Amino acid sequence: MEHQPRFGPGFVEEHRRRFGTRPRSARQLTYDIAVEDEYAPWRAWLGEQLDLLAATEAAEFERELWLDESHWPCIFELATGAALRAVGFTVVYESKHGALTPDWTVLDADWKPAMFVEVHTDQPARQTFGQIRGGTTSTS
């Protein structure tokens, strides 16, 4: 069986079916990225990055990826892993090290931890996303 892209036509069709009938102000802010043709390369890249993770980690990412509150932190974590791999590092996502669970563990030639990488993303308060969707700017 041929591999179907994680965020390919089936995903786009299902996302449109589930969320496309909502008024624009009631949709997730990520809706356009999830369905518009101009973002197909983004979706392909995201799928490729998730395919590099263990199935349980990829499933967790996929649940969080299209939520406004976690979309950009997910992308930044995936981009960090891609950048580390691009310069030749071997990386593992969210590997436990005692009480620590860094986003990425860079492994040395003996597959031992060489460094930990934690991705930090500043985000607005949670209610801000609802205000943006609803088109309001008031904080009261």
One-letter amino acid for residue 68 of the chain: D
For residue range 17-39, list pLDDT tens digits in order. Answer: 999 999 988 888 899 999 999 99
> What pTM was estimated for this model as a whole?
0.82
Where does 47-112 show beta strands of DSSP type E? 90-93, 104-107
The DSSP symbol for 115 reads E
Task: Say what percent of the chain tops pLDDT 70.
Answer: 86
DSSP 116: E
> CA 124, CA 127: separation in Å to the nearest integer?
8
What are the φ and ψ backbone dihedral angles of 114, each rounded to 5 degrees? -105, -35
**Burial annotation 70-105 (CB, 10 A radius, 16+ → b, else e):** bbebbbebbebbeebeeeebebbbeeeeeeeebbbb
- pLDDT at site 140: 46
Nearest CA among 93, 119, 89, 80 for reference residue 107: 89
Give 65-82 pLDDT, tens digit per residue.
999 889 999 999 999 999
